[in-house]
Structure formats: structure tokens, C-alpha cells
Amino acid sequence: MRGGLALLFFLGAIWGTGCRRDVTPVTDVPATRVQRSSLQISVAPAGAAVYVNTIHRGQTPLLIELDPGVYTVKVELPGYAPLERTVRLDAGAEIAIGGALSLLTSTPLPTSTATPPPTATPTLLPVDTPTVTPAPSPTPIPVPHSTVSVWETAVDIPTYPYANYLREGFDGQHGFTFWRLERAAYEAAHPTPTSRSYRALVLENEYLRLVILPEIGGRVYRCVFKPTRQEIFYQNAVLKPSRWGPLPGDQNWWLAAGGMEWALPVHEHGYEFGIPWEATVQREDGAVTVIVRDSQAQDRVRAEIAITLRAGQAAFTVRPRLINPTGQVQTVQFWLNAMLTLGSSSITGDTEFVLPTTQVVVHSTSDAALPGEHQTMTWPIYAGRDMSWYDNWHAPLGVFSLDTEQGFVGAYNHTTDLGVARVFPPEIARGAKLFAFGPEFRDTAQYTDDGSKYFELWGGPCATFWPEDATTLAPGASLEWTEHWQPFAGLGGLDYANTAAALSLRRDPGDGTAHLGVATITQWSGTVTLLLDDQVLFASAATIAPDTPFRVDVPLPASITPHSKLTLRCVDAAGDIVAEFTQEPYQ
């Protein structure tokens, strides 16, 4: 059984526990007849701040009346590990959250003494220059001194009982045990979700809070950008088995849980998205790394992912490592997949996708006006539609970028004013894929109960999902790389990113203005310059931090032409360019 029986026993046991509470989805009723629910929060010590769906509601002890629904409750007190719970309130329910908060130094975690992988350090150097007052930007919240904390907690997620209907299979080509769903039996049981607690590891510095769930594929489940208290990742209200995945027909059970998952050894989310991964913690001065591993097997390719958060940085790094311990050549697919909404519960129409390429190849689509599978299309404009804006999509579409040499992709939600950039080494991690459902997609019940949607940014060493682009590992070989994920807010867009900064340069031909934005990963001082046809049009000393991005509007001269070129440049005290973006002539 290759260890599968033990896993099946584990998965079955966690739903057989008698302490779970059945949760019935809330149905639509007239507003005047909704029976409100009560939520009591009482912890020791008292006086902790309570946030419900990121909104401050008061201090403990606290009694709140809420409408039926799913809520994320966070309790914070300086010096103590935050307490976080996701609860679902039925009409008229009375739920209590209580217990003692844990001191940050009191929770033991498994620790490795191995040296964490090296992480690139931005070449940002402080200089003694006057501080420029930036344009209005998100108001930063108070933050402690520069440090990284790590602790263990639990996250409660309503979960369908799919584990009772999983059966073991074996992929002889890759040497992998996988799990298939007996969907007919599952659906005949009329399953409903039950609240279940999952082990969670939390990393936090002054700018970011990461939550990692080892039991659900070792995924990075949450990333909170603390200056604005916004989530970058999608978070499904339930764990519900979809029909998507690499298996035939109804055997699939991929979980659109949200966050960032790891797909191995085949395309379409792989086999390991919903099984427990091992997790260990490494500490060093100014950084904490959580390493998640799918297996210690010696007879097939295995994966380990190092997720690192450093003090003073508004970015986290991901270092995937694929290992072939066998004596044979192994060919596999590996991808990381981030499910994103950027500050909202569901993708918004004015979400902008940033792929620095002029062509993409279609993986799949049900939009008849677009090219089909394996065919190329121009990007971002195709047949008069600007596909970089979600509002211009119709049906589901997945595309692979044909040019990743600039080493970054990203997205920006203009409704929430929140963006994210993925910065990666294109010589190794050459793959970049974008997927979204489209506004006209209605079958959300396949994966969720609340109608929410998200988009996906994929990356990895394979150029596409097709067999000819799979990664080959020699006997005993390994493959690894490090990439940065940077959330930022208040820029008004994204045009360029590297391991130091994200840049936005928007030229408005209507009002003759250039809109400049710079968000740095760490605190930085230097000079921000705008050049017009290689001549300095604007220059200003600036001090920039992740919670205080640089924003300025620069009037353009009347002599500017459609063929003029604009360049946004950031220069440090040594005169080195740390980030630069040139906008193509306006058409």
C-alpha cells in the first residue's frame, strides 16, 4: 500500500472526531426575518484587540451580534501570539471563543539546525537626504521593532467529508501514490461541511503575516499586508472537492482552498495539494524559514519548499527544491500556484494582470472569440480587447507567457488599491501562467458555497503543462531557485518589479500628467527621477518604506509627442540604479 493506508486512516479519523459541529449553509431569506447570531470573545489576559474580518470591533471581553455568515476573528495583544479563528455562524447561533493567549516565546516548534538557503538582499543603501512627502497612501498601523516571530496555532475551516471517500491509486510512471475520489458514493451521501481545525504555522514581521497549513499540502494559506490589513490570497469559505485535476473524470477532488500550493509530479495541480506535508522551522538572526516537505521517499522525485520571512522586509521568499534520489532519469512537472483576489473576497472587474510579454499561448478557454488550445494570441491586446483587465474577459481562460526574460509577473486590484509582484530567475523558473474564470462563469458551486472567484498566477521550471516541456532530473540531481513575492499598496498600478522595488508609471494623455509610484521591499532612501527622452524632467530625494510608498504626479510639457519615451528610475546613494522602467511611446 506504499504508506497510503496510514494516510487514509489519518484523513478518515479527522472527520470522525465527535467534537465537530455540523454547519448548514446559510440560505437567502428576506432581510427583515434574518435572525442574528452572537459571538462571545473572552481570553486571558483581558484587554486584547478584536478584529472581525479585519475590522476592529473592540477589546476583550466582548459580545458581538452578527448576521449569519463566515467570519475570521483575530485577537491581538502585544507580547502574545495572536489568536485566530474562522467561524461560521448559523442564524440564531451562540458561539464562544476563549482561552489563554500564549506568550510569543512559550510555544516550542520543531527546529532544524541546518543553515537556511541564501536569500538575495536588495541593494538599497541609506543616504542623508531630505524626506519627500509622498502623495496620499494607505495609513500605516503601528508596528513593533524589526523582528520576525513564529508560532503555532489552529485555523478552523468548514470542510466537506471528502476524505471518507478517497481511495488509493499508484502512478507507476512517476512512482507516486495518489488519491482518487469515489464521487458517486460521496454525492449519494448528500455531504455537508463540518468545521474542522487545521494546524497552522504563523510567521510575522512588521509588514507581513504569513499562515502556513502543513495538513493541506503545506500551502501558504494567508499573507496579510499589515500596513493596510489586506489579504493578497483568495480564501475559500469551505474546503470542497472540485472536479478539476489530473485524474480521469469524477475521480478528481482538487481543493480550491486558496493561498499558494505546490503541484507535483504532473500538471493540473498535481497529486499532493490536499495531503499532509512535514514542516520544520529554522531560525537565524533577523529571519525565520519554514520548510515543508512532501516525502522522504528514496524511490521517486520529492519536493521541499522553504518559505522565508525576514525582518524589515515587505516580501517573502519561496525556494522550491526538487530532488531525484533515484538511479534513473526522472521527468516531472512542478508548479507553484497562487490563488489571488488582492484585498477582496472575490476577484473584481478592475483587476489588472501584468505579464511583460507580447504573446501568450492558450492552455484552455471556453471563449469562442479567442484562439484555442496550443494556439498563440497577442498580449495584452487581442482583437481590440485589452485582456490585461479582467472586465474584458468573458469565460475561463488560461495562458502561458511566451516571454519571461524580465523575471517578474504580477497583478493589481484597482478597487482595493492592492497589488502583488512575483520576481523570479527566468533562466531556471521559466514558466509563468495566468488563469481566471471570467465574469460570465457561473458554476462556482463546483468548488465553493459562496459564489466567490479568484485568479491564479503559476510559476515553475516548465514552460507549459504539455509533456514536451516537463522538467528532467538526472539520477541524484536536484533543481532549486528562489523567488520573491511582494505585496504593496497605494501605487495605482504595476509596471515593473525586482527584488528591491515595484514601480508604476502611468501616462495620462487626457490631462498631460505622468503618475509615478514606487514601493520598496524595505526602508530606502535615494533619488527618484523621471526622464523624458533621456532628459531629466523631474528628480526628488525620497525616503520610502513599505508602509509609505512614493507617489507624485508630474505635469508633462506641451511639447511631448506620441513618440516620446518616459523612464522612471530609482538611484541609491552610490549612484547605482536599483530599479528602472521605461514606458514605450504612447500609441
Angle at 419 between CA 418 and CA 423, to 5 degrees: 160
Distance (Å) of CA 11 to CA 179, 185, 258, 276:
11, 17, 20, 9
Taking a C-beta distance cutoff of 8 angstroms, is the pair 338, 260 a contact? yes
pLDDT tens digits for range 509-544: 777 899 999 999 999 999 999 999 989 999 999 999
Of 89 and 171, the structure prediction assigns the larger pLDDT to: 171
Q: Is the pLDDT of residue 33 over 70?
A: no
**Whose CA is closest to 290, among 151, 486, 428, 421?**
151
12 pLDDT above the threshold of 90: no
Q: What is the CATH number of domain 500-583?
A: 2.60.40.10
Radius of gyration of the chain (CA): 24
pLDDT of 104 reads 63
Residue-level pLDDT at 439: 95
Nearest to 393 by CA among 382, 409, 378: 382
Res. 36: pLDDT tops 90: no
| 369, pLDDT greater than 80 | yes
Instruction: Tell me the β-bridge partners of 246.
Output: none
Rounded to two decimals, the pTM is: 0.78
- Residue carrying the nine cell digits 489586506: 230
In this model, does residue 145 exceed pLDDT 60?
no
| Residue 3 scores a pLDDT above 90 | no
| CATH number 3.40.50.1370 given to 149-489 | no
More confident call, 96 vs 526: 526
Q: Report the C-alpha gap between 147 and 285 in whole angstroms.
A: 9
Domain parsing of the chain, residue ranges? 4-26+36-100, 149-489, 500-583
What would the grid cell of residue 496 be?
515593473
Contacts with 448 (C-beta within 8 Å, 6 or more apart), sequence order: 236, 237, 238, 240, 256
Residues 6+ apart with CB under 8 A from 285: none
- Candidates 103, 87, 54; CA nearest to 155 is 87
Q: What distance in Å separates the CA atoms of residue 222 and residue 259, rounded to the nearest whole number?
A: 6
pLDDT at 340: 98
406: pLDDT confidence band, cut at 50, 70 and 90? Answer: very high
pLDDT tens digits, one per residue of 316-361: 999 999 999 999 999 999 999 999 999 999 999 999 999 999 999 9
Residue 428 has pLDDT above 50, yes or no: yes
**Thinking of the domain 4-26+36-100, which architecture would CATH place it in?**
Sandwich (2.60)
What mean pLDDT comes out for the span 246-252?
Answer: 91
| Per-residue pLDDT at 23 | 31
Quick one: which of 284, 335, 328 has its CA closest to 309? Answer: 284
Higher pLDDT, 568 or 84: 568
- DSSP state letter for 186: H
513: β partners? 508, 555
| pLDDT at residue 566, rounded to an integer | 94
Secondary structure class of 64 (helix, strand, coil): strand
User: Among the listed ranges 32-36, 176-180, 224-228, 248-252, which one has the minimum average pLDDT value?
Assistant: 32-36
Same fold for the pair 149-489 and 500-583: no
Percent of the chain with pLDDT over 90: 71
Return the C-alpha cell found at 465.
Answer: 503543462
586 — pLDDT class (breaks 50, 70, 90): low
